[in-house]
Amino acid sequence: MTRLGLVSLATALGLAGCGLARAEPAADPPLVLAASSLTEVLSRIEPDGRYSFAGSNQLAQQIRLGAPFDVFLSASPLYTQDLYREGLLRKPVAFASNSLVLVVPRSNPQRIRTVSDLAKRPKLRLVVAGPTVPIGLYTRQVLKRLGLLRVLKKAVSLEPDVKGVVGKVALGEADAGFVYRTDVRPVARKVRVIALPRVSQPTVTYEAAIAAQPQSVESARAFLSALLSTAGRRALRAAGFGVP
């Protein structure tokens, strides 16, 4: 039984005074707005959750426009902290970390061996996420630290989230792209991974926060407890994430 199921069962069987409390209907599963890079792991942590995946910047905008939700999981503190200050979220908590890698198609037509090769390939088709998407922000930090911002001129598309970058490289529609380390596993047979210099790695921190006015406080709290539990941390580690 899931953690949410246990919470609902405890409510239904709770005691009030000397008699049994009237059974309450089980709360609906939480509606979770989550960064695309969490797509595979969240169903292992809470199978009953209702999920909407997209770039964290897109989800933050949906929240500002009044979209209903219970919990927001962002791939960058930038969005959770801003929404918290705006009174749209309860206090955020860090729950995971990640790192970036460069991926190329398995065939590697441009024969890229290191990130510096990106600047040496005049016909390179680079794919990156947009500058307001967390993976796009982190990509630009990496390139700036390496003195390679000029390679952004070779970008053939600006993707709305990291899955768009992964997909284009895996399908051979691009020669290289920057993604999270955790996004490699689902396409491991279709891409090659090129490690980035440690000095270039940005600090990638994921934060979770309950909506200021969630549809179900009970479900939101139960989901967050599952995410931060020992089992939740174990699932995150198994998927390649770091945990605080």
Q: What is the CATH number of the domain that holds 16?
A: 3.40.190.10
Work out the number of other CB atoms within 10 angstroms of the CB of residue 203.
Answer: 11
**Is residue 244 one of the residues assigned to a domain?**
no
What does the alpha-carbon distance between residue 173 and residue 165 come to, in Å, rounded to a whole number? Answer: 10
Q: How many CA atoms, within 13 angstroms, populate the side-chain half-sphere of residue 177? A: 32
- The answer on 223 and 177 residing in a single domain is no
Task: For residue 33, give the 3-state DSSP assignment.
Answer: strand
pLDDT digits (tens, 9 = 90+) for 50-86: 999 999 999 999 999 999 999 999 999 999 999 999 9
pTM (predicted TM-score)? 0.86
- The answer on 136 and 18 residing in a single domain is no
Total domain count, the chain? 2
Task: Report the interhelical angle of 3-13 vs 217-228 (nearest 10°).
Answer: 130
**Is residue 243 one of the residues assigned to a domain?**
no
Average pLDDT over residues 173-187: 97
pLDDT digits (tens, 9 = 90+) for 120-160: 999 999 999 999 999 999 999 999 999 999 999 999 999 99
- The answer on 44 and 90 residing in a single domain is yes
Domain that holds residue 155: 100-200
- The answer on 173 and 115 residing in a single domain is yes
27 pLDDT band, cuts 50/70/90, is low
